[in-house]
Amino acid sequence: MKINTSKENLEKALGSLKEDASKKPSVTMTKEEEIGFHKGALNTLAAERNELVKIIVNVETIMQAHLKRLEELGVKIETREAKETKK
């Protein structure tokens, strides 16, 4: 099976894609639907933020455990905060 392609046909096809992309979607939402959409988005984002906070807390806990053990082994770790207070 042979497919015939030409530069002219390709340019026409690409041109029609650009025209389609420039058109605004004709889908409209009622005010109530839009309010529901934004409320749902905020609920989802709040849940994602809460999960991110949990991850940060876990990482911080593990880092503190490593720092504590290093201190027990005699390794001194200087934090940024300690460096800034020395200045």
Average pLDDT over residues 4-10: 69
∠ CA 17-23-27, nearest 5°, is: 120
- Give the up-direction half-sphere exposure of residue 18: CA atoms within 13 A in the CB hemisphere: 6
pLDDT at 1 over 60: no
pTM of the model: 0.55
Tens digit of each residue's pLDDT (9 = 90 or more) over 22-73: 666 667 889 999 999 999 999 999 999 999 999 999 999 999 999 999 999 9
Cβ proximity of 86 and 76 under 8 Å: no
The per-residue pLDDT for 68 is 95
Rounded Cα–Cα distance for residues 30 and 37 (Å): 10
The per-residue pLDDT for 47 is 98
The per-residue pLDDT for 9 is 75
Helices of type H across the chain = 7-22, 31-72, 80-86
Average pLDDT over residues 13-18: 66
The per-residue pLDDT for 35 is 95
